[in-house]
Amino acid sequence: MTHEHSEHDHKNVLKGLQSADSIKVIETIEELRATGKASDIPILLEMLHLSQNAEIKSRIIALFSNLKESDAIPLIVEAIQNQKYAPEMKELVSCCWENGLDYSKYLSLFVDLLIGSDFLVAFEAYTVITNMTTTIDQAIIDQEIEKLDQAMRTTSDEKKALMLDVIDFLPSIGF
């Protein structure tokens, strides 16, 4: 997504998302991969949530997986925290590690997802955490490790393995 179009051109592009023609919608999503803005994310989230078209859904996820602007991060995080988008949770969380943006200030959210979600979402959250490279305050790291230690007492064996891995990993990004 870049900012090369005028505001008027951009509004015209967005109109393509409202087309009844799924081919036109898909073409518009592809155009947004090049010309879109972070402010388009709420519209695309709504489409992802409401569309019955698997191709449209997959194109939106692909766009989110290729985001490069850090101003998109809070919008994706907000969607992950919104119960309304629970059906899209696994895909939204996987976008976070696929797009390579820095979600380190949301470490606590991803630890909570690792602890409280089903295995598929937990695995995506685990992947986001273990791909973090930005250093995080040691007090926050210690707090999250403590949370994981507590949760390990009552979780499944498959999630326990992920949690142990995260507990081993977190000190490497602490400062």
H, E, C per residue of 69-82: CHHHHHHHHHHHHC
Query: pLDDT band for position 1 (50/70/90)?
Result: low
**87 and 146 together in one domain:** no
At 17-76, the pLDDT tens digits run 999 999 999 999 999 988 889 999 999 999 999 999 999 999 999 999 999 999 999 999
If one compares 4 and 116, the residue with the highest pLDDT of the two is: 116
What is the four-CA torsion angle of 140, 171, 121, 58, rounded to 10 degrees? 100
**56 and 77 together in one domain:** yes
**122 and 132 together in one domain:** yes
Domain coverage including residue 106:
102-175
Q: How many C-beta neighbours within 10 Å does residue 84 have?
A: 10
Enumerate the β-bridge partners of residue 136: 174
The total domain count for the chain is: 2
